[in-house]
Amino acid sequence: MTVAYDGTPFHGFATNPDVRTVQDDIERALATVLRQPTPTTCAGRTDRGVHARGQVVSFDVDAAHFDADALTRALNRMLSPHIAVRDVGEVASDFDARLSCVARSYRYHITNAPTPDPLLHNRAWHIRERLEIEPMQVAADRILGEHDFTSFSKRNKSKVNETFVRRVEQVQWFRKGDAVHLDITANAFTQQMVRSLVGMFVAVGRGRRPATDIDVALGARDRAVVPTPAPPQGLVLMQARYLS
């Protein structure tokens, strides 16, 4: 199923003891409707405060007792207002929302104006000084293709020999009035990768770092050489792509 959510009240997507998560809310609702425990898998594990419009969630259910429309209505009654199931459909038995996904797309929102917009407090990063989009795009173009994003990744201490190599397919900055957006697509993302990249790009847009510092950061493979990650509320998982 395709799921949208406001990440503000959640401690991320993935289940986590003693805190509210998107996955736990969805699995409780599924268990109630389907009358059995229903583990789920998602396309991308968003962090605390990050939103989604096109998260994909897969789960197993008896096809003989499956009514997509009825399930969608029931789940939306239970999950509103912070989570919405946009559609539910049947897929092949070997489909996995994470492992079958070939690309993910995110958008980052910035309000670039002298004063903040209270209505976008949980939807965008407010930056007062005007950002220069052209050098930000020059910096962004330098991450296209396959690179080691160790410098832009939060390490998971429980994972041994974790790799941070990813392939970026598309990255584009654009301005619309007081709004500045980044669209980025890659085969996969490491934890905090997009937010860390945005932090670097914004430093370039503010004139505090040259665009070529992206090359230095990629080569250093050291998180200490990059700025603090951008705040989570500006980030949205827009789409997960699968082979037809």
If one counts every other C-beta atom within 10 angstroms of the C-beta of residue 233, the result is 21
Structure tokens at 38: 């229903």
Q: Tokens 């407090």 appear where?
A: 121
The domain boundary residue, chosen from 87, 121, 150: 87
pTM: 0.95
Please say which residue of 62, 87, 112 terminates a domain. 87
Nearest to 184 by CA among 125, 107, 240: 107
pLDDT at 162: 83
In a domain, 96, yes or no: no
Answer whether 6's CB lies under 8 Å from 55's CB. no
Kindly state the tokens that stand for 88: 């539910």
Average confidence (pLDDT) over 88-94: 93
Name residues whose C-beta falls within 8 Å of residue 240's C-beta, 6 or more positions apart in sequence: 43, 44, 54, 55, 56, 97, 101, 103, 104, 105
**137 in the same domain as 225:** yes
Q: Using one digit for the tens of pLDDT, what is the confidence trace for 18-53? A: 999 999 999 999 999 999 999 999 999 999 999 999
Per the structure, the count of domains in the chain is 2
Q: Which pLDDT belongs to residue 158?
A: 64
pLDDT greater than 90 at residue 16: yes
The domain that holds 230 is classified in CATH as 3.30.70.660
Opening angle at CA 181, ends 87 and 169, nearest 5 = 70
For the segment 177-224, what is each residue's pLDDT rounded down to a tens digit? 999 999 999 999 999 999 999 999 999 999 999 999 999 999 999 999
pLDDT for the residue 206: 97
Contact 88, 71 (CB under 8 A): yes
Question: How high is the mean pLDDT of the chain?
Answer: 96
Asked if residue 237 and residue 130 are part of one domain, the reply reads yes
Q: What pLDDT digit, counting tens, does each position of 54-71 carry? A: 999 999 998 877 899 999
The answer to whether residues 115 and 235 belong to one domain is yes
Task: Read off the CATH number of the domain in which 6 is found.
Answer: 3.30.70.580
Q: Are residues 124 and 227 in the same domain?
A: yes
Residue 79 belongs to domain spanning: 2-87
Mean pLDDT for 119-131 is 97
Which residues are catalytic, by number?
47
* In a shared domain, residues 80 and 19: yes
Residue 159 has pLDDT above 90, yes or no: no
